[in-house]
Structure 1
Amino acid sequence: MNHPAETAKKPPLLRRIALNPLVWAAACTLAALPGYLTDGGFFSYLMSIIAGALCGMWFVSLTVRMPHPTGAIVHLLAAVALVPALYASIEVVPQLLTPGAPRAIYTGVLFALPPAAGWVWITLLNRVINLLPGKPRVRAPLAWENDGDAVVVRFRAIPMRMRELTLWMVATIVATGAIVTTALIMFSTIVERLGPRMLILALGALFGLPAYLIVTALLRRRSVDAAVRVSRDRMWITAGETTHALRLNQIERLRWGMSSDYARLEVTAPGIDLALLVGIAKQADGLASELPPLPGRTLRLAETEGLEKTTSRRGLVTLSRG
């Protein structure tokens, strides 16, 4: 049973729906259906590609939120299972469908499968790259260091909120989908010669992987040096050249995500509305992009200052006023 305070802190239902990739994938699928029931066309192909990529993004985000190493194992198993699933969807299932509406609708599903599989494979590749020789297999976690009468943790972060990161992903999917759809139409003769299996590999190699690497590089270029210093009843947050100083009793809401791509710091106080993404920023060699837990003394003092603590299933600690 959920704690009343935790339930109250959940985002509004409409906001949770609006930020769910599966909802937008369903909307894109519905928008594409009329075209497939007639003669297909650019818009329907684009909607299917976007829907598939959104489904892949949802699944990968799900594995990231899982505890380590469960998430990585689920990600790997799904990537392997997609190979026979794609083969069956291309070579077996179409033969079982009668011409007309069923086969036309299934065509839309086929256009969605490659980008979904591509997102799963590309992000898995990124996980594998981090395990290659020459890179530390076990990265040391960020840790608090003594700093006089306070403790401090230093890290690299991207000044950005999660919703802005989501918009980056969606914009990338839309742009890449439009390019892929245009290429499929312009080079239809070559596409027919490639065959479906080679086509999936070609789309991933020529469009999916470069888009993922480019966007990741662009986001990481925005990384800044950051630090959080905590004393008995004060907190200093530095991002780039700017330092915000505040008392614990001034904090209206503090979010502290420790692990995975969701590691981040968000703080709201009078005159301060700051968000720092740590999970996707590149740290110094040998350091993991994970924040250490908030000091126990800080949590106890925050509670005495009227801040309620809630912890989500993915380890996001929220301190907020009731």
Structure 2
Amino acid sequence: MKYIEPLHTKSLRGVMQALCVSQRTNKPQTTCYNLPAMKRPVILLALLLALLWLIGYSFTAQASAPAQGGAFSTPTPLPDGRIIYIVQPGDSCFRISALTGIPIEQIRSLNRLGEDCALREGQELLLGIGGPSGATPTAEAAITPTPEVQPTPTAPLAGEAQVCVVFYNDLNGDALRQDTEPLLAGGALSISGASGQFSQTANTPGGTEPVCFERVPEGNYNISIAPPENYNPTTQLNHTLTINAGEQVEIIFGAQQAIAELPTEPEQGSNGPGSLLGILGVGFLLAGLGLGVFAWRFYGRKPTYTK
């Protein structure tokens, strides 16, 4: 009669190496079935590679997609004239500088930031000082006895005035015109008297000279402008002022081209239900692979007899 007697080993390695059968006859005899040892490292290596691949696939499948790019609009000045930007998740001084066109050194100086330019989410950053927002703001430009634009426009006749409008490309978005900022074409300009005494419209041509309205009767006026497509205003869009006879008035408007928002970095991982399901799936898959290998090793191979 035969019975199976496993080797008494203290580790799984010993069980996998040999299985012995004792035969009770007149001459007791024990036969051992040696399991192949050369293929164990190959199987273990394959299991390790499968585990690494499944973990990498799980994290890749659950990574968040990058945020969609959009257009960035220059913040509207507050009543006191300050232009404030609220720090968003993933923002840095470099990214804010790329969005607004304001140098990093200026951002650090206005907000007293250190060399590392450390920011926190929700922090208010001062980007510059512009004109205060309001329904009836005062004229931005000063009234001067002589025009600043060359060549000198013709002096208005007695009882009439001259109104010139400067519409410039506010490259840095600070609502203050610099010498390097050119005039902008495509703006829809309108001037109308409160009592209907004068009304005209025009489109800004760009170039080097402003748009001027000649022989404007004295009185109260509303002067407004609409920026061209893909441009955001950096100053007020209208001015209400009183024009006196013989004056030469210059009004300044500014606009900045909309800047596409840079994509943010994808979030690393997720704490939602998808993560837990992914981990459980990996665990069940590895358990199934282990059981399959175990069954194949012990039941799928023919024994080798050694005497």
Question: After TM superposition, is the score higher than 0.5?
Answer: no
Please identify which structure carries the higher helix content. 1
TM-score after normalising by structure 1: 0.23
- Which one has more relative contact order, counting CA pairs under 8 Å at least 6 apart? 2
Rg larger for: 2
TM-score after normalising by structure 2: 0.23
